[in-house]
Structure 1
Amino acid sequence: MSIIIITVLSLLLAGCVSALVIISKKKDQAILDLLKEEQAIVEEERRMFGFLHDLGEAITREDSQSTMYRLIVEGAMRVLESNGGALYLLDPTGKSLVPRFHSDHAAPLIDLPERIAAMGKANGSALLSFLRLHSLRLDEGIIGSVFVNQRPEIIEDLRKDPRLNQASSFQNNITTLIGPLSFGPKKLGVLAVTSPKGVRTYNANDFEVFKSIVEQSAFALANAMAHQAASEKKQIEAELRAASDIQRILLPENDPILQGYTIAGRNIPAKVLSGDYYDYIPLTGNRHGVVIADVSGKGTAAAIITAMCRSILRSNSDSSPSPAAVLGAVNRQLAPDIREDMFISMIYLVFDAATDHLTLARAGHTLPLIWRKATGKVESLHSGGLAVGIDKGDVFERVTKDLTFQMHPGDCLLLYTDGVNEALDGKGLEFGEERIHTNLATLAPQGAKAVIDGIIADVDKFLGGKRSHDDITLIALQKAA
């Protein structure tokens, strides 16, 4: 009996020992599993910190956009230990999603045409080229859906996703993380990483990490875009300043000293570049040419036309004693080369310093004014004329005629562009012709320079110190008393 009891107790003791050993092994395995999981999380965090560091460095260095795109995709792949990745961004027109970076082994996230799918099986580079060049509608397929709905997703098996109408073998058994890139209210694009399920399966922690990557990538892209926009703006501003410097060189450096007359001119651009210009042209036989012009519009296009007009007029200035004939030659050369919606109003004046007779032609420009010292009154000089560029030749030359007039000692002629009379104050009221007449009558006794300075000062006062919406140019010519 005792032997049986001892045997039973021995068996029970052995069983307990075995159970304890098994429990211990399971506990050890659980501890090992936890350590491995902890190590995996630590490694993932290390990769994440490396990714964020690289993004920060790229922003600081102001890397090219293509470098930033590659860094985001390859960084996401590295952090999540993925086989491939792709980045689609909204194009500048806001009408499509453009592939900005597609890694070599990223699974296609779009429907593949049968021809491309078949070609891709034999030639992987052909498939990759298609994926890197094929833009999508904003609501097209999986990428469009994520972009529109602005929700990240885990796709367990890409081929089974109902948003693929023509799933191919390239999408079979592929697991995907995909999320929308946005910064504030601005939608930027979509980021995705892909892997074969046998190689990598994404879990809930991976999904949270991916969402952080998407958020940081969107922030980096927004900063990169802001840096690029600022850089482009600086470059444009520098180019405009250089163009403005060149344009200023084309204007008279000083008012010439003339026998029997004094002259003063001034140009004030509304923007960096001016669509107005004026010029003094020495002619043969002791004659002088004076031109004032206003190109429709402002900015770069107007400035280019201004330079062309100046060059053509100078090259034709001595071709005829008739200002109208010279303007006709300018129009024939310039009209075919400017846009249909552009034109140039001009006045070209020719006079001999030894006489009191002057001749001008007016091509659709604001009427010139003349203050008569003898009466103290201001007169308008009327002559017909069509703006340069509206007609290519015959009509322009038929209606644009010379006007010869006389200036007596002390008389003062004023030429100006419509930026003067059409200057608007804060209430939307125009400076107007009457103020110009009053200024001319008041200031002419003080000389040509006083007329220009005084009118500009009055316009500035009228505008309340604000910049004019249009270029301002004036020339005053006074006969010596």
Structure 2
Amino acid sequence: MTPVFISLLVILLLMMAAGILMLARLAFQQKHALVALRAEEEAIVAEERRMFHYLHDLGEAIWRDDQQASMHRLIVEGAIRVTQSSGGALYLFDEATQRLVPRHHSEFCAPLIEIPQRVRQQMKDNPSALLNLLRMHAVGVDEGLLGGVFVQQKAELVANLSADTRLGADAVDAQQDITTMIGPLSFGTRRLGVLAVTSPKSGRSYNANDFEVFNSLIEQSAFALANAMSHQEAAKSRMDQQELLNASQIQQVLLPEHDPEWPGFVVAGKNIPARTLSGDYFDYLKLPGGKFGAVIADVSGKGIGAAMITVMCRTLMRAKSSSASSPSAVLAALNRQIAPDMREDMFITMSYVVVEKDSTKLTLSRAGHNAALLWRKATGNVEAIHPPGLGVGIDKGDVFERVTKDESFEMHPGDCLLLYTDGVNEAMDPKGVEFGEERVQDKLAKYAPQGPKAVIGGIIADLEHFLKGRRSHDDITLIALQKTA
């Protein structure tokens, strides 16, 4: 072989070797890229799986009626798992105090607030002092990192927590070399709070993809949290409504089960609450010496407070009526007992009538209540009986007793007496026109010849027609007594 040929052969062999090395390197790079791509795909799949399990757990929790603390813990622990963080914290907005309140702060979550100097001192002797602070300390919505994210309603990726000036100039060790993702929880126009995850930079470095996943996570968490709140509020409302219904049933049991049988009288009474609970009440009393009594009362206000006062009235009336000498003396004793325990904005109007043993003479005392109306069969006229009187609870004793008096009157066969609360005369039609006392008198005169039940039923029917199907804004209570012989 010639030297030239040998040289060409060597060059060719070297080129082939270089090509083989290049192909080998390329194959290695492709293999490495495939391995990296496969690892990335597996990481994404794992991340999606963690997110799926998180959302599934949230959905289950909403409909399990979990306690709120369980839901809060689930949100934080789920966020930690999805983002593979070391710790997390959930702060919720409290409208009453306008502060962000820690609802769940995991043990290894870095502090997201400025640490007071006193706590720094306590930490030297008690390492748990920091975690105790983090789990209890609420933050104003305009304070620090948490407040800033809440007000701006924008998620942040903080690369170095200790360098963030919103945490103060001097970070504690637990804030050093920490990275965090923090975002606002909101649903529609409702701002719910802030969710954060943290991790040491040495173990976890959040990237753009992590931040995108975190943004999706806070959006789903806010949706789940808002639904859980609505579900729990609805459950509480149902429970409250059931409790009100139970209280209403108890209150109805305390009203007379049936109309009494009094010698020489026919009596009828009715209570129609404007709401679940009534602030009106009426009762019939069998008194010593062959006497009988009827009481009607109207507590200012509505709801549970007014209903409780009616129960107190009933109990005290039954206790005091057996020993007092007159209707006004009974009301005076009741007032002295109940007035000290009533709020300044509450009072009770009452009428108490006693039928004497001979069943012709009646004595009425009125504590600021509507005048009693007496229909006279002989004339067909209606008389108003209104002895002076002060509402129960307005004065604790002396003034009430000086003002409140008795008035006695006779009833003859056919005469009919009506006691009623202002839910009757103050009922308004859709145009704002009151039913009025004059109309009550006209209705009494119309129905009295047919007896007490007709008086009660007729007035209620006419009220319903007057209201045009609307519900009365106030309780309606009536008692009618008619002399028979």
TM, length-normalised to structure 2: 0.97
Match of 2:70 among 67, 72, 88: 67
Residue 212 of structure 1 deviates from its aligned partner by: 1.2
Alignment of 1:351 with 2:349, yes or no, is: no
Shift of 1:355: 3.2
Secondary structure in 2 aligned to 1:425?
coil
Match of 1:461 among 465, 468, 472: 465
Separation of aligned partners in 2, 1:74 and 1:355: 78
Task: Identify the residue that residue 156 of structure 2 maps to in structure 1.
Answer: 153
Match of 1:126 in 2: 129
Counterpart secondary structure, 1:243: helix
User: Which of these residues, 11, 22, 28, is aligned with residue 31 of structure 2?
Assistant: 28
Instruction: Provide the C-alpha distance between the structure 2 equivalents of 1:114 and 1:30, rounded to a whole number of angstroms.
Output: 51
TM-score, scaled to structure 1: 0.98
Match of 1:164 in 2: 167
Counterpart of 2:100 in structure 1: which amino acid?
L
Find the counterpart in structure 1 of residue 188 from structure 2: 184
Question: Does the Cα contact within 8 Å between 1:363 and 1:400 map onto a contact in 2?
Answer: yes
Matched to 1:440, the amino acid is: L
1:103-114 to structure 2, matched below 5 A, reads 103-114=106-117
Contact 2:157 2:180 in 1 (8 A): yes
Cα distance in 1 for partners of 2:419, 2:125 equals 76
- The alpha-carbon distance between structure 1 residues 120 and 6, as it changes in their structure 2 partners (threshold 3 A), is farther
SS of the equivalent of 1:107 reads coil
Q: Does 1:328 align with 2:332?
A: yes
1:92 positional shift: 4.6
Q: 1:299 aligned to 2:309?
A: no
Partner residue in 1 for 2:406: 402
Query: In structure 1, what is the Cα distance between the partners aligned to 2:262 and 2:28?
Result: 111
Structure-1 residue corresponding to 2:9: 6
Give the unaligned 5+ runs of structure 1: none
Match of 1:207 among 211, 236, 241: 211
1:387 aligns with 2:387: no
Counterpart of 2:135, as a letter, is R
Q: 1:7 to 1:347 in 2, by over 3 A?
A: same
What residue in structure 1 maps to residue 267 of structure 2? 263
Indicate how the Cα distance of structure 1 residues 119 and 6 shifts in structure 2: closer, same or farther if over 3 A, else same. Answer: farther
Q: 1:288 aligns with which of 275, 288, 292?
A: 292
Change (3 A) 1:48 1:355: closer
Q: How far 1:258 sits from its partner (Å)?
A: 1.4
What displacement does 1:458 show? Answer: 0.6
Contact 2:123/2:130 (CA < 8 Å) preserved in 1?
Answer: yes
The one-letter code sitting in structure 2 at the alignment partner of 1:197 is K
Residue equivalent to 1:137: 140
> Quick one: which amino acid aligns to residue 420 of structure 1?
V
The CA distance in 1 between the partners of 2:65 and 2:363, in whole Å, is 60
Q: Distance in 1 between matches of 2:297 and 2:14?
A: 116
RMSD: 1.3
Q: Please tell me whether the aligned partners of residues 263 and 359 of structure 2 are also in contact (alpha carbons under 8 angstroms).
A: no
Q: How far did residue 22 of structure 1 move?
A: 1.6
C-alpha contact 1:181 1:188 (8 A) present in aligned 2:
yes
How many aligned residue pairs are there? 481
Distance, in Å, in 2 between the alignment partners of 1:83 and 1:115 is 27
Work out the CA distance in 2 between the residues paired with 1:122 and 1:56.
43
CA drift of 1:444 comes to 0.7
Q: How far is 1:14 from its partner?
A: 2.1
Deviation at 1:9, TM superposition (A): 2.9
Q: Does 1:452 align with 2:456?
A: yes
Deviation at 1:235, TM superposition (A): 1.0
* Cα deviation, residue 478, structure 1: 0.8
User: Conserved in 2, the CA contact under 8 Å of 1:260 and 1:353?
Assistant: no
Shift of the 119–20 alpha-carbon distance from structure 1 to 2, 3 Å rule, reads: farther
Could you tell me how far 1:79 is from its partner in structure 2?
0.9
Q: Quote how far apart the aligned CAs of 1:57 are.
A: 1.2
Residue 109 of structure 2: SS of its match in structure 1? coil
Q: Name the aligned partner's letter for residue 63 of structure 1.
A: D
Match of 1:54 in 2: 57
Cα offsets for 1:408-444 (capped at 9, x unmatched) = 1111111100000000111111110111011011111
Q: Once structures 1 and 2 are overlaid, which stretch shifts more, 46-55 or 120-129?
A: 120-129
**Do the aligned partners of 1:332 and 1:392 also contact (CA within 8 Å) in 2?**
yes
2:248 paired residue among 244, 253, 274: 244
Paired residue secondary structure (1:154): strand
CA contact (8 A) 2:161 2:179 kept: yes
CA distance in 2, matches of 1:11, 1:188: 71
How far apart are residue 276 of structure 1 and its match? 0.5
Q: Does 1:277 align with 2:252?
A: no
Q: Which amino acid aligns with 1:432?
A: G
| Residue equivalent to 2:41 | 38
Name the amino acid aligned to 2:375. W
Cα distance in 2 for residues equivalent to 1:320 and 1:26: 107
Matched, 1:87 2:90: yes
Q: Does 1:234 align with 2:234?
A: no
AA matched with 2:484 = A
Compute the displacement of 1:59 (Å).
1.3
Residue 17 of structure 1 deviates from its aligned partner by 2.0
Task: Give SS of 2:262's match.
Answer: coil
**Deviation of 1:353 (Å):** 4.9
Q: Would the alpha carbon gap of residues 375 and 459 (structure 1) be closer, same or farther in structure 2, given more than 3 Å must change?
A: same
Secondary structure of the corresponding residue to residue 99 of structure 1: strand
The match for 1:312 among 306, 311, 316 is 316
Question: Mean alpha-carbon deviation: is it higher for 91-100 or for 366-375?
Answer: 91-100
Measured after TM superposition, the shift of residue 118 of structure 1 is 4.3
Cα displacement (A) at 1:218: 0.7
- CA drift of 1:345 comes to 0.5
